[in-house]
Amino acid sequence: MLNDKITTRFDIEKITPVPIIGEVGHSFADKALVASKTNRSMVAEQFRIIRSNLKYVLHGKEKAVILATSSFSGEGKSFICTNVASVLALAGKKTVVLEFDIRKPKLISGLGLTKGQGITNFLVGKTADPSELIQEVPDQPNLYVMGCGPVPPNPSELLLDPQMDKLFTWLKEHFDMIVIDTAPIGMVSDAMTLGKYADATLYIVRQGYTFKKQVALIDEFYRDEKLPKISVIINDVKVKPGYGYYGYGRYGYGYGHGYGSYYEEETPPHGLIDRLLDFIDIRKLFGRKKKGKS
């Protein structure tokens, strides 16, 4: 009764009919990109499932623009964007990820690429050719990224610049799939500004982190059609020992403490109630041997 955070997908389904197209668990890798050609881990396969479900959302479109946002910082949006783009590239789609979270860019650093000129340089007219801003992700065929560039003092106004139309026209001519990593929509309006260029929206929520009341915000955007074709991805899905979660049995899913965090410093502290529950679960799992019994 006291828990005001998302715990299961039922917490979302009780509030909104927005479809849930995937659940992503914990990555113990020390890098952002886990969905690679040779990686068959559970998390990598979960991103492949999301790729399959996206086909139904996009109604089989061969070329599309996908917008990713969340309620606030720390829900793993950049991690999701990176790996969704990767599995699209693995399917033979020439894919580019746009670092449009201009206020707090994480994508380029997460991939270990060099920061330099980017989207903001093009929007202010310092670069005329968008191709100069594209970086190829090493050892990942068909996967490219466009960094945000220097952080401007007026990000919201910059996104309204007429150069935006030219940028997306060029991108659609040169790429099959475009993934936009934008700022959290619960904090700023950037995602709504960029929504007019998108064919679908991925709304990221994080188990044990996103507040239930913020799901009402998702429902508002869905019913008022403020964002195109909204779908939810649940990040940080994990189970306690001995319990099942939608057929995942005893696999320990989660996100945020290995590669996890882009936003590690913003992870909520492990509270007293959580520590007590962990203690109780440990006792249930291992138990105490009773006298006279093995």
- End-to-end CA separation in angstroms for the chain: 38
What is the four-CA torsion angle of 54, 15, 80, 145, rounded to 10 degrees?
A: 70
Q: CA-based diameter of the chain, in Å?
A: 81
Instruction: Specify the pLDDT at position 102.
Output: 87
Domain hosting 219: range is: 9-286
Instruction: Give me the pLDDT at residue 283, please.
Output: 47
User: Cα-flanking dihedrals φ and ψ of residue 287, to 5°?
Assistant: 65, 175
**Structure token pair of residue 136:** 């190829």
Distance CA 173, CA 145 (A): 16
Domain assignment of residue 178, yes or no: yes
Residue-wise burial string across 52-83, b where 16 or more C-beta atoms lie within 10 A, e elsewhere: ebbeebbeeeeebbbbbbbbbbbbbbbbbbbb
d(CA 4, CA 212) in angstroms, rounded, equals: 6
Per-residue pLDDT for the chain (294 aa), expressed as one digit of tens each? 778 899 889 999 999 999 999 999 877 777 778 888 888 888 899 999 999 999 999 988 889 999 999 998 889 899 999 999 999 999 999 999 999 988 888 888 888 888 888 999 999 888 778 999 999 998 899 999 999 988 888 888 999 999 999 999 999 999 999 999 999 998 888 999 999 999 999 999 999 999 999 999 999 999 999 999 999 999 988 865 433 343 333 333 333 333 333 333 333 444 555 555 555 554 444 554 444 444
Across-strand partners of 230? 201
Other Cβ atoms less than 10 A from the Cβ of 270: the count is: 9
pLDDT value at residue 112: 83
CATH number, domain containing residue 172: 3.40.50.300
Q: Is there a contact between 115 and 143 (Cβ–Cβ < 8 Å)? A: no
Q: Is residue 261 part of a domain?
A: yes
How far lies 233's CA from each of 53, 113, 124, 131, 241, in Å? 11, 26, 34, 31, 23
User: What's 276's DSSP letter?
Assistant: H
Can you count the helices (H) and strands (E) in the chain?
Answer: 10, 8
Domain membership flag for residue 1: no
Is 4 inside any structural domain? no
Residue 135 lies in a domain: yes
Structural domain contains residue 197? yes
Q: What's the number of domains the chain is made of?
A: 1
Is residue 59 a contact partner of residue 194, using CB atoms and an 8 Å limit?
A: no
Q: How far is CA 140 from CA 53, 68, 91, 137, in A?
A: 22, 21, 12, 6
Does the residue 205 lie in any domain? yes
Question: 3-state class of 172 per DSSP?
Answer: helix
CA distance 230 to 19: 8
Within a domain: residue 293?
no
Residue 285: which of 233, 250, 236, 235 has the closest Cα?
250
Could you tell me the CA-to-CA distances from 63 to 99, 141, 174, 222, 248 in Å, in that order? 19, 17, 11, 23, 33
